[in-house]
């Protein structure tokens, strides 16, 4: 059974008023509806008074395959409901969350192993520091060059006493 969401005219002559209803597609324009979703008053001045609609039920009928007429489709768009039965704001939010999830998954994906070219400098740096720390007993200059000390060298004279007067010569 093909289901349509369309307008049912009620109201007097030259003063139309419509109900937004769910119909079997074979039913006449003003026939018995399956369900009434709301009302549409084209002569109302305020936009909020023009359309009153149960958005949750409209979304349900759209999600199960009901086809809106052109006018009802325009009214639904004005209320922020798309043809798939979702609020436009919710649809945008879901799309943004999906994009964020995709980015997160890509960033957390296991990285391929590092190329050997990057591993070689790390091994070379480890090899340079290892001999300096384990230098043989006879090679004291290599150990002194590799590991700087905080103590002053032995051939540097100690600073003059701060209390003694300086001699000018």
Domain borders along the chain are 3-89
Cβ neighbours of 34 (radius 10 Å) = 15
Strand, coil or helix: what is 160? Answer: coil
Rounded to the nearest angstrom, the gap between the alpha carbon of residue 133 and the centroid of all alpha carbons in its chain is 51
Residue 162: the pLDDT is 58
- The reported pLDDT for the residue numbered 44 is 87
Q: With the CA atoms of 26, 31, 35 and 40 taken in that order, what torsion angle do they form, in degrees rounded to the nearest 10? A: 110
d(CA 78, CA 75): 5
In the DSSP assignment, the letter for residue 28 is -
Q: Which residues contact 55 (CB under 8 A, 6 or more apart)?
A: 79, 81, 87
Q: What residue has token string 């002559």?
A: 13
Given phi > 0 = left and psi -120 to 50 = alpha, else beta, which region is 163? alpha
Q: What does CATH list as the number for 3-89?
A: 3.30.1320.10
CA distances (Å), origin 81, targets 60, 62, 85, 136: 11, 10, 6, 81
Distance in angstroms (rounded) separating the CA atoms of residues 89 and 95: 10
pLDDT per position in the chain (169 positions), as tens?
799 999 999 999 999 999 999 999 898 888 899 999 999 999 988 767 889 999 899 999 999 999 999 999 998 988 888 776 555 555 565 566 656 666 665 666 666 665 665 555 556 566 566 555 555 555 555 555 555 555 555 555 555 555 656 666 5
What are the structure tokens assigned to 20, written together?
Answer: 């937004």
- Asked whether the beta carbons of 39 and 19 are under 8 A apart, the reply is yes
């Amino acid at each position: 059974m093909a289901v349509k969401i369309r307008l049912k005219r009620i109201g007097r002559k030259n003063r139309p008023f419509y109900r937004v209803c769910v119909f079997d597609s074979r039913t006449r324009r003003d026939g018995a509806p399956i369900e009434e979703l709301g009302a549409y008053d084209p002569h109302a001045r305020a936009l909020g008074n023009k359309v009153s609609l149960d958005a949750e039920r409209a979304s349900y009928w759209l999600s199960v395959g009901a086809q809106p007429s052109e006018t009802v489709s325009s009214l639904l768009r004005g209320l922020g409901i798309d043809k798939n039965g979702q609020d436009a704001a919710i649809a945008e939010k879901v799309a943004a969350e999906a994009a964020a999830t995709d980015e997160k998954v890509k960033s957390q994906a296991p990285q391929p192993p590092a190329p050997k070219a990057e591993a070689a400098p790390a091994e070379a740096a480890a090899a340079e520091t290892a001999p300096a720390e384990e230098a043989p007993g006879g090679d004291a200059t290599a150990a002194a060059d590799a590991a700087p000390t905080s103590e002053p060298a032995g051939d540097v004279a100690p600073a003059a006493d701060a209390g003694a007067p300086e001699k000018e010569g």
